[in-house]
Amino acid sequence: MRGRGAWAALTVVSIALSVGAQPARPTSKAAPPPPAKEAPAVPAAEPPNAGPGDEPPAAATSPGADAPPSSDLGEAPRPVESAEGKLSPLTPRPDELPLAPKPPPSSELERLLTDIAALRGRVAALTTTLFKSRLRVIVETRGDSARLDGLSVTLDDGVVFAAPPRFDAADERVVYEHAVAPGEHVLGLDAELYDVRGQRYRSWQNARFVVSVPESRLLEAHFVIRDDSEMAVDFPDGEDGEYDVRIELRARVAE
């Protein structure tokens, strides 16, 4: 019995010594390891025989990466190729504009002019039948050195008389007489005059007057063109001249 007790005591002592010989574990948490250093970037390999001024190759892109976004207007117009180069997209193509109509043949044109003349004659005859009122227009020029180089008479903005070449109205000339509707009308005169002493000195006169044609009566409208200008003589001699041109109209009931 004494031997078993001594063995048990020796075992307990050995265990106690073993426990005391082990180092104590720390109670605090261990610090995290330091972050690893990043490796330096390795430059991309340059193509062989690349000089200092050469540009690097463009990066590859996927198809459609640079395409413009789609819109409701459709694709952008493309320049048109021609022999001279690229034209603007706004320049029409040769086959885009319609062709000009061909002029009518001379025979057809003559027929149209004949029809127009016939229609004018019918209108004049109908006017004479419908209206008993009449208008007579007289033209007269006064001036020793004044000459007409153009003359036209208008009635309600329509030309009723155009003077032929070398028309002379030093004496009274009846240039128009026809039946018209009674009432107010606009009577006009356009004249171009020159001086026989210097044909480069010219004047143009445009005049409009309102006349009243009575019912079933004849109205006589008398134009007088007065030209007392001395510009052709005074200006070349003394560098001082004056135009003196007037248009007068006298209207009276003749019948």
Q: For 54-98, how does the pLDDT look when each residue is reduced to its tens digit (9 = 90+)?
A: 555 554 454 444 555 555 666 766 655 655 566 666 666 666 666
* Percentage of residues of the chain with pLDDT beyond 70: 58
Gyration radius of the chain over CA positions: 57
Identity of the residue numbered 241: G
Question: Under a CB-based contact definition with an 8 Å cutoff, are residues 162 and 169 in contact?
Answer: no
Bin 58: left if φ > 0, else alpha if -120 < ψ < 50, else beta.
beta
Can you give the pLDDT at residue 124?
A: 73
Residue 191's contacts (CB-CB under 8 Å, 6 or more residues apart) are 148, 150, 151, 204, 205, 225, 247
How far is residue 186's CA from residue 180's CA, in Å, rounded to a whole number? 12
Contact indicator for 160, 187 with CB cutoff of 8 Å: no
- pLDDT for position 64: 46
More confident residue, 255 or 81: 255
Distance in angstroms (rounded) separating the CA atoms of residues 244 and 231:
9
Whether residue 205 contacts residue 225, with contact meaning beta carbons closer than 8 Å, is answered with yes
Paired with 174 in beta bridges are 138
Looking at the DSSP bridge assignments, the partners of residue 190 are 152, 206
Query: How far apart are alpha carbons 90 and 86 in whole angstroms?
Result: 12
d(CA 154, CA 116): 20
The per-residue pLDDT for range 25-54, each reduced to its tens digit, is: 555 455 555 555 555 555 555 555 545 555
% of the chain at pLDDT higher than 90: 43
Strands 134-142 and 218-227: parallel
Q: Could you tell me if 247 and 205 are in contact, meaning their C-beta atoms sit under 8 angstroms apart?
A: yes
Q: Is the pLDDT of residue 166 over 80?
A: yes
Q: Can you read off the two tokens belonging to residue 230?
A: 């001395």
Burial class (CB in 10 A: 0-12, 13-18, 19+), 75: exposed
**Coil vs helix vs strand at 179:** strand
CA nearest 207: which of 243, 249, 178, 167?
249
Closest CA to 145 of 220, 182, 199: 199
Residue pLDDT, tens place only, 92-142: 666 666 666 666 677 888 888 888 888 887 777 777 666 789 999 999 999
What is the model's pTM? 0.52
